[in-house]
Structure 1
Amino acid sequence: MNIRFRKLGAVAFLKRYSLIIATVFFASASQAQPILSGEDGYRLWLKYDLISDAELRSNYVKAIGSWRVDGNSITSDRIRSELDYALPSLLGEKVREQHLNNLTANKGDSTHVPTLIIGTPSSSKTIATAIRSAKLTRQLKAVGDEGYLIKTVQLKNGRQLLVAANTDVGALYGSFHLLRLVQTHSSIVDLDIQQQPALDIRILNHWDNPDRHVERGYAGQSIWDWHKLPDYQYQRYYDYARANASIGINGTVLNNVNANPIMLTPEYLAKVASLADIFRPYGIKVYLSIKFSSPQLLGGLETSDPLNKNVQKWWDEKVKEIYTTIPDFGGFLVKANSEGQPGPGDFGRTHAEGANMLADALAPYKGVVMWRAFVYANEKNEERSKQAYSEFKPLDGKFRDNVLVQVKNGPIDFQPREPFSPLFGATPKTPLMMEFQITQEYLGFSTHLAYLGPLYEEVLRSDTYAKGEGSSVAKVIDGSLFNNSISGMAGVANIGSDRNWTGHIILQANWYVFGRLSWDHSLSSQHIAEEWVRMTLSTDSLVVEKVTAMMMASREQVVNYMTPLGLHHLMDTGHHYGPGPWVDNLGRADWTPVYYHRADANGIGFDRSPTGVDAVSQYHAPLKERFSKPETTPENLLLWFHHLAWDYTMQSGHSLWDELVRHYYKGAEDVAAMQEQWLNLEGKIDPLQFNQVKMALEIQVKEANWWRDASVLYFQTFSKRPIPTGLTPPSGTLDEFKTRKFPYAPGSG
């Protein structure tokens, strides 16, 4: 295969040689002809389409002129290839000719300096000289191994634009930052940018199985074809790495947390190594989820007790084998003693003892353990939302230095809205790592438009009050609040084998916003949404304004038509698709919706106040006092913390019943309005992109109405109250809704 093709990515190759992607999408049954060309979403936010504004394009050409990437590493080569493709694509053939002419005319002339120079002081004499002369040595040192400077400086040869870093990977990140400025039509005059990541580990968790089924995945099969690896390496693997590097993601867990031990066998480690070789030049390390009982399942041992010497030896030898195969392996992700997975508790040991055994094996190689705090069990006789705190709070300070406890953003399970987990701020001696879900397990799958940037931002900016006001969740996970030495954020990936990667064009933005916030959590989700729209859909100001507004409102719309006012876990059984608030017959109570909403003739909601299960006591003051009383609890979490009468008076003056119903109706109405807004953009967005979203919105409108009608009819059996005046009664019957079955819904077990 052509080497340049492998470096640039499949779409770059196709675009350069003017081939047409014959991808067919039908907008509706009435459309007579298929759409045979256009943007189908494969290129994500790295489209690099020609800037149509000639004056703006000319200004960029003048500012950039020609470019040079100094360095002989594979990463330097990747930067060079990216720029050699991206800049001419964005700025036209004139800049390519200008660049090539400058290089040819000055070949062998060491005094010639291009306008744009990328490199490190160790790889580039020009960068080293410029850093000294511009007195930037201290700034460059401060950005660390992954940060960078983008500076306009005055040198003897004139004004130069530098992308300078301490490592080639830092230079890669800086190059993507500069390209993002051009893609979003931002000024690159007199740049003075100093960037470094807020978090050490910025990682995707793939819940992918060796058979290519993706648990809670809604965008096709796993992108990892384990059967064909290591010999067959899809171009998609390279483009995956480019996309992640462009937003600062530096790690990937390749397999499901419900791990198959086969991943630790020599055959599969060779497959993992082939992916690691592809990702390494892009600054991405590979990690594996492990099954805690692997010493028994693979090693033939009689036990997997973490304090057993033979078990410890087995892990030591397995880790040595891994690092012999993959020298920069990142470490392990562990789900233990949760939902039937084995763990140290099976042998009377603590989570700390289990994690530390693995951490000791990884420590000589600088590997880390990410130990999930998602644990709950019936036999503990404690309300589910409290169990992670109760389990891990007493272990604070007992974990090794290379262990992070990975905590879901909320205390239950990736609901459309939850309060932040009380563990954040509860373990000052133990680094906590955020776990967000990018795939929409509980938010309508990949056919519902739900931009999750506002959800992430809401959680990260929540104040834990662990050290007084200003102790945000973001400060907990970046290590600054308690001076932790290691930090991280994980996102459960929404990536699959669909051509557009995520099953819905706009849901690419959830992958994008996760990466951008893991690099810089001070960014606003709206700013990031605008970036993504400009880079992926259109730079037309009307499109940017309208689509950004749709995205920013979308998550709240989903909350309204699914789980308003703090309701949660109302989804149907197993696949979590569609409403099922009536489900009450599962193997354990805390898997059933009725356990959480507790609707009865007297009211609705879960009492977690001091008069109930007292989950509020796990929060720091003043939150525990604020959440203890209905009148001081935020209304969007009201039924999370309180069981209230149907006639309870809300802030609007409406009764709780009327307010609940109005939220359900508003959610469905807003989705219908969003559909109309999208239809008004026809002709301003590429037809393939437009029609994909159009079809998904048709599904979302139907399913929002389904959620509204089924939920309202069900809760009405308890409230015995009429639908508020002015609202059309639900269509269909509750019995009909209860009989709907979806045995093959994507994401099922």
Structure 2
Amino acid sequence: MKKWIAVIIGIILFNSIFAENGYNLWLRYNVIDNPTFLQQYRQQISSISCPSDNGQLIAAHQELQKGLSGLLGKKVPLQMSVINGTVMMGLPSHLPFIKTLVSDTVLARLGNDGFIIRTIKHEGKNITLIAGNKEAGVLYGAFHFLRLLQTQQSIQQLNIISAPRIDLRILNHWDNLNRTVERGYAGGSIWDWQRLPGYLDQRYYDYARANASIGINGTVLTNVNANAMILTEPWLQKVAALAGIFRQYNIKVYLTARFSAPVEIGKLKTADPLNEEVKKWWKDKADEIYRIIPDFGGFLVKANSEGQPGPQNYQRTHADGANMLADAVAPHGGIVMWRAFVYSSESPEDRFKQAYSEFKPLDGQFRKNVLIQVKNGPIDFQPREPFHPLFGAMGQTPLMMEYQLTQEYLGFATHLVYEAPLFKEVLNADTHSKNNGGNVAQIIDGTADAHVLSGMAGVANIGSDINWTGHPFGQANWYTLGRLAWDHTLTSAQIANEWIRQTFSNKKAFVDTVQQLMLASREIIVNYMTPLGLHHIMGYGHHYGPAPWYNKAPRADWNPVYFHKADSIGIGFNRTTSGSNALAQYQPAVRKQFENINTCPENMLLWFHHVSWNHKMQSGKTLWEALCEKYYNGVDSVRWMQRSWSKLRSYIDEERFVQIQQLLNIQEQEAVWWRNACLLYFQTFSGKPIPAGYEKPDRTLEYYMGLSFPYAPN
């Protein structure tokens, strides 16, 4: 017994000595450092039994063997015979007794990706059963079982039934063919196109494992600002090499389609979607793609936005363009995800309104294999936005959610911002679209309008940095996308808790402190960047740092002054009936709440109203005083984050502790910059002093306005 205890102590010390660089993400599989759980798991798990007649089943048992052997500190063998403690995996076709344990109703609920995990007796042996209708379900069940051990949960009497609420759970990479990443803050692209298809980096396998562990089943490899070259045969062979790896983990590959490809690489004179030659070109191209990549998922398209070509170049509609591509991939089971992020410099209307104005009239005109991909808010991934008015407005068309994991407007990869509260705020928003019911989550999962297709996408924050996401906490946003796409009823706290336990430590003091930091972090960044409904006041082009004064962009709605409209009277964008009337795009109950300045939530106030500097807030303070309070609270809260983190050194490896500590120092400096620059600028309009008791800015407005960042990543 003493020897066994010594071994455990040695394991714990071993795990705590060596630094970690974050490469393993939440799949660390270090030996469990709780002797009680380690002993229990070792007693309950003896071996793995799994058929090896499919690549996904092989991936499942390999992952389970790797994970269990690491977590238990001993090799867990794979064997066909069943003994006490066997973890048995398979399908009803492999294990007919499953149908005697699980009703047809439950099996039907699982669909293709769902799984059951049950503690049962089989042939007199105590076993853990992981089963699904398809191999993918077994794969996801294996990862879920490992998560239970990683987070030190009981596995004694398991009876888990889990199936995804959303079918298409997708990462959108904004990666270019030259390995740069648009809005990438974690290094270059992980796709080494030059060495593909001959060289298959281990990173591709680990990327696929990480995605499968959280249920992500699709990846769009290329930037929405698309390059037609990716659709040529040599490049498709490179894509096929990646698809071959990802297939083992139930991940389909998608590509962005440049609408003008028939002209650029097909030598046609037009890309008109109603032209018969163009239709044939896309059909032939789809046939070629599916010959090379039989399980190709389909296309993601950005059209007629920010200079990208599209059907409107030929006086056609978005439906015309999407349907042409949909018809090309339909015979192969492919889909088209058509982005609703459109706005035109020729249109004088509020940019907030343009997507709704273009897409709402087309409801019901899209093919059955088309989804409209809609950003969570109507502008562009701001720290806080109201839900997009298209949600609840297109009942005849499946809409899929587009979030942004890469922190383009959230401090890049130097600010700790856990995005789950942002995502959940939108998902829980009531659109009042169906008899005063139907939140955004019910619209995108298809239940509100009985759609077959459903999807959630996230713009990836993944790059070549050793820890994948630049900021170690950026990993949590990747993790969150997968978990919420699988089950959008999970809370931000639940997701944070399991991510912390897998990524860092199960120690209660550490988990509680870090979870508190994570849950507060999104509101903190809103406070020091864009409080009370301010939005899009970041630096021009690169979006780094504050620039509310900027007014030299080639189009009005690229200028921060367009969005805040500060003057001597007040601040904010009037979107009521007396202004741009963007609120008319929402259902009456939503419109009524936001239209009235007294019922509009104060955290959205300046989104919808131009508000007097002297307006009395619910606290009794004036708007100016409340604005100052928010900015100063934001900075004070970052300092609280710093203090809280500084107390956690003994719980994790020194390498990641110091890295996060340094990043929090940068975040504090930049929060002060945001606060000072914005308040000094807005003060020129309000004419009011910063209230007594606050530390005064140590630089002038002219200093901040003179800062330049020509090499900021964008």
Match for residue 461 of structure 2?
494
Match for residue 413 of structure 2?
446
Which runs of structure 2 are paired with 1:347-366 in the superposition (5 Å)? Answer: 347-366=314-333
Match for residue 56 of structure 1?
37
Match for residue 248 of structure 2?
281
**Shift, 1:169, TM fit:** 1.1
Q: Return the alpha-carbon distance in structure 1 between the equivalents of residues 675 and 698 of structure 2.
A: 10
- The answer to whether the 8 Å contact 1:649/1:655 transfers is yes
Structure 1: unaligned runs, 5 residues or longer: 1-19, 22-34
Shifted more, 171-180 versus 469-478: the winner is 469-478
- The answer to whether the 8 Å contact 1:452/1:555 transfers is yes
Match for residue 185 of structure 1?
152
Match for residue 12 of structure 1?
none
1:116 paired with 2:87, answer yes
**Shift, 1:112, TM fit:** 5.4
- The answer to whether the 8 Å contact 1:134/1:153 transfers is no
Q: Return the alpha-carbon distance in structure 2 between the equivalents of residues 621 and 49 of structure 1.
A: 54
Q: Return the alpha-carbon distance in structure 2 between the equivalents of residues 111 and 366 of structure 1.
A: 39
- The amino acid across from 1:361 in the alignment is A
Q: Return the alpha-carbon distance in structure 2 between the equivalents of residues 468 and 620 of structure 1.
A: 11
Q: Return the alpha-carbon distance in structure 1 between the equivalents of residues 230 and 707 of structure 2.
A: 38
Q: Return the alpha-carbon distance in structure 1 between the equivalents of residues 102 and 703 of structure 2.
A: 73
Match for residue 299 of structure 1?
266
- The amino acid across from 2:277 in the alignment is N
Q: Return the alpha-carbon distance in structure 2 between the equivalents of residues 111 and 528 of structure 1.
A: 34
Equivalent position to 2:54, from 69, 73, 79: 73
Q: In structure 1, the residue corresponding to 2:473 is in which secondary structure?
A: helix
Which digits, 9 at most, give the CA deviation of each residue in 1:320-345, with x for residues without a partner? 00000000000000000000000000
Q: In structure 2, the residue corresponding to 1:464 is in which secondary structure?
A: strand
Q: Return the alpha-carbon distance in structure 1 between the equivalents of residues 18 and 40 of structure 2.
A: 30
Equivalent position to 2:22, from 4, 24, 41: 41
Q: Return the alpha-carbon distance in structure 2 between the equivalents of residues 132 and 728 of structure 1.
A: 69
Which digits, 9 at most, give the CA deviation of each residue in 1:254-278, with x for residues without a partner? 0000001110011100000000001
- The answer to whether the 8 Å contact 2:130/2:141 transfers is yes
Match for residue 625 of structure 1?
592
1:344 paired with 2:311, answer yes
Q: Return the alpha-carbon distance in structure 2 between the equivalents of residues 724 and 351 of structure 1.
A: 51
Match for residue 388 of structure 1?
355
Match for residue 17 of structure 1?
none
How high is the sequence identity, in percent, across the aligned residues?
Answer: 55
Say if 1:135 and 1:230 are closer, same or farther in 2 by CA, change over 3 A: closer
Say if 1:468 and 1:726 are closer, same or farther in 2 by CA, change over 3 A: farther
- The answer to whether the 8 Å contact 2:18/2:653 transfers is no
**Shift, 1:136, TM fit:** 3.4
Structure 2: unaligned runs, 5 residues or longer: 1-13
**Shift, 1:730, TM fit:** 1.4
Which runs of structure 2 are paired with 1:614-653 in the superposition (5 Å)? Answer: 614-653=581-620
- The answer to whether the 8 Å contact 1:220/1:496 transfers is yes
Which digits, 9 at most, give the CA deviation of each residue in 1:269-320, with x for residues without a partner? 0000000001001000000001100000001111000000000010011000
Equivalent position to 1:604, from 571, 574, 582: 571
**Shift, 1:113, TM fit:** 7.1
**Shift, 1:704, TM fit:** 0.2
- The answer to whether the 8 Å contact 1:150/1:161 transfers is yes
- The answer to whether the 8 Å contact 2:92/2:99 transfers is no
Which runs of structure 2 are paired with 1:245-324 in the superposition (5 Å)? Answer: 245-324=212-291
- The amino acid across from 1:121 in the alignment is P
- The answer to whether the 8 Å contact 1:68/1:114 transfers is no
**Shift, 1:65, TM fit:** 2.5
Match for residue 722 of structure 1?
689
Q: Return the alpha-carbon distance in structure 2 between the equivalents of residues 717 and 132 of structure 1.
A: 73
- The answer to whether the 8 Å contact 1:438/1:491 transfers is yes
TM-score, length basis structure 2:
0.97
Match for residue 96 of structure 2?
128
- The answer to whether the 8 Å contact 1:712/1:730 transfers is no
Q: Return the alpha-carbon distance in structure 1 between the equivalents of residues 91 and 17 of structure 2.
A: 44
1:209 paired with 2:176, answer yes
Equivalent position to 2:335, from 368, 374, 377: 368
Which digits, 9 at most, give the CA deviation of each residue in 1:12-66, with x for residues without a partner? xxxxxxxx99xxxxxxxxxxxxx99421100000001101122211111222222
- The answer to whether the 8 Å contact 2:444/2:455 transfers is yes
Q: Return the alpha-carbon distance in structure 2 between the equivalents of residues 327 and 156 of structure 1.
A: 41
Q: Return the alpha-carbon distance in structure 1 between the equivalents of residues 472 and 419 of structure 2.
A: 14
- The answer to whether the 8 Å contact 2:551/2:561 transfers is yes
**Shift, 1:414, TM fit:** 0.3
Equivalent position to 2:508, from 504, 528, 541: 541
Which digits, 9 at most, give the CA deviation of each residue in 1:207-238, with x for residues without a partner? 00001110000000000011111111111000
**Shift, 1:373, TM fit:** 0.2
Match for residue 328 of structure 1?
295
Which digits, 9 at most, give the CA deviation of each residue in 1:458-496, with x for residues without a partner? 100110010033311000000000001100001000000
TM-score, length basis structure 1:
0.92
Match for residue 670 of structure 1?
637
1:86 paired with 2:63, answer no
- The amino acid across from 2:68 in the alignment is L
- The amino acid across from 1:286 in the alignment is V
Match for residue 7 of structure 1?
none
Q: Return the alpha-carbon distance in structure 2 between the equivalents of residues 37 and 71 of structure 1.
A: 35
1:557 paired with 2:557, answer no
**Shift, 1:381, TM fit:** 1.9
Which digits, 9 at most, give the CA deviation of each residue in 1:584-632, with x for residues without a partner? 1110101100000000000000000111111111111211011101100
- The answer to whether the 8 Å contact 1:219/1:501 transfers is yes
Q: Return the alpha-carbon distance in structure 2 between the equivalents of residues 56 and 434 of structure 1.
A: 39
Equivalent position to 2:543, from 576, 598, 605: 576
**Shift, 1:543, TM fit:** 0.5
Q: In structure 1, the residue corresponding to 2:336 is in which secondary structure?
A: strand
Q: Return the alpha-carbon distance in structure 2 between the equivalents of residues 541 and 240 of structure 1.
A: 29
User: 4+ residue stretches of structure 1 with deviation over 6 A?
Assistant: none
Q: Return the alpha-carbon distance in structure 1 between the equivalents of residues 587 and 559 of structure 2.
A: 29
Match for residue 165 of structure 1?
132
Match for residue 27 of structure 1?
none
Q: Return the alpha-carbon distance in structure 1 between the equivalents of residues 498 and 82 of structure 2.
A: 38
Match for residue 10 of structure 2?
none
Q: Return the alpha-carbon distance in structure 1 between the equivalents of residues 586 and 212 of structure 2.
A: 37
